[in-house]
Amino acid sequence: MDAGADRPDCGECAGGAAGLGFEGGPRGGSALASSETRAPSTVLLVAPSPAEESQARWWRPIADRWPAGHPAPQLAMIDWENDDADEPLPECKAALVIVGPRVTQGALFAMLDRLSQALAPAVVIDPTGAHAEALERAEGATATLDPEGDPVVASAMLYALVRRQGVVDTLRGEVGVARRFHGGLRGEIDKIHEELQLAASVQREFLPRTLPRMDRIDLRVLFRPCGYVSGDIYDVQRLDDERLGFFIADAVGHGVPAALMTMVLCRCLVTKRAVGDRTEVVPPGEVLAALNTEMIRRHGDSPRFATAVYGVVHAPTRRVTIAGAGHPHPLRLRGGTVEPVPTEGGLLGIFPDDRFEEASFTLGDDEMLVVYSDGFETAFPAPASNAYGRKLPNQHYIDRFVEMSRRWGEAGVGEAVRGLSEQIDQQAGSLHQVDDLTAMVLVPSVESPVDRLFAGERGAQAGAAASGARTARPQRERA
């Protein structure tokens, strides 16, 4: 085949063309010269043997009618009889597939699949007509032409596919680059996840493994970070044989910076001091003042702030002394009524001489004390809230606390805290909390069959049982 023969303009050869099934040369008319020079591409011819006959019958009429001013493509050829399906196809921009009389439908579609995998579009001509119905259902970049049609149609179609393939190759290269970047980003994201899981493990080491027990006082904690790590922290310490110290803090912000601040808060919390040969319990107001001073001393280029509540309960008398630093007021719940505990004091880490006033009261036999973080203000959105409304603070959580106090009287404190956890799970957006949630519940310890039941293993693991398996957002309830 002489691919370099004179080729007329497509427009001049639109009429009177010989059919594709017949040998034919270029038609009359002068070719328009073009100063534009393009490197020839390659078209793959898949045809029956002998190769020379297939080229003369099928390819030469198409090549002779290639658009003027554009060099005819180079030709690579595979004959059906000698094709090795395990060998890679020659590199090409498009393919012309001629179905031979002995080509099975399986072999035909296997070839089309190989071309599709190579991202090479195919023009199929089936002189036998045996596969016409199957070719109509063929997927991918496959076009079927009439074997008796005008060669100009096949020439124009192959020309368009060859010109288009340059863009496809560019896009394929860009997709390859994007995939490589995606693989690198995925590796970095996996690394970040591992580091966050390690950070969560380190933060959990600052939390009490078990809560100390003391006669006449029962204490539970619900702890639900909104991510891997939490900006909330809590601690409960047995100060002596009669007193418990309890602490909740909320670092301003979210994520890793806030979590690091909580670890600093725990490390700087001083609840006892040596006086001569004895140990003295530090009053709550002084504990927060010392914590405030230490945070200011540690300020760097980016100061961090926190809110906190620290209190001491004298178990024999149930006398509670408590102080707060910009934190939501603790709530005393009794018989459906709610009484905030006034705790005055600014944020930790702002004013060096700030004073933290103490409040004292006696916890009644039927009274519950709830110390909580501000995440509860968004934990119970209104039922009809949109995505923005779910992030707005509200007072619905107070009703849930009241319900928890009633449940305590009926089923015990462990079941009451578990019920609160279940209610949180039922809220819209609970899988992606707006803020960390921490609630510490103090109630009088009463020796009754119900309380003894929920003071055992079931009560100790109430939070874990209520939350189910949580990986991205661990939850903890302490008994």
Q: Are residues 279 and 157 in the same domain?
A: no
User: What is the span of the domain harbouring residue 355?
Assistant: 206-478
Whether residues 117 and 213 fall in one domain: no
**pLDDT-derived band at 475, boundaries 50, 70, 90:** very low
pLDDT value at 276 more than 70: yes
Q: Residue 291 is part of a domain; what is its CATH number? A: 3.60.40.10
Residue 199 forms part of a structural domain: no
pLDDT at res. 51: 84
Question: Based on the domain organization, do 211 and 163 belong to the same domain?
Answer: no
pTM: 0.61
**CATH number for the domain harbouring residue 37:** 3.40.50.2300
How do residues 232-259 score in pLDDT, each as one tens digit?
999 999 999 999 999 999 998 878 888 8
Does 5 map to a domain? no
Q: Are residues 295 and 433 in the same domain?
A: yes
pLDDT score at 446: 64
Residue 34 has pLDDT above 70, yes or no: no
Identify the pLDDT of residue 232.
92
Amino acid (one-letter) located at 71: P
Residue 380 inside a domain? The answer is: yes
Give the pLDDT confidence of 155-185 residue by residue, as tens digits: 898 999 888 888 888 888 888 888 888 888 8
Residues 219 and 92 in one domain: no
222 and 143 co-located in one domain:
no
Q: What is the pLDDT of residue 140?
A: 65
State how many domains the chain has.
Answer: 2
Same-domain check for residues 115 and 219? no
Return the pLDDT at 24: 43
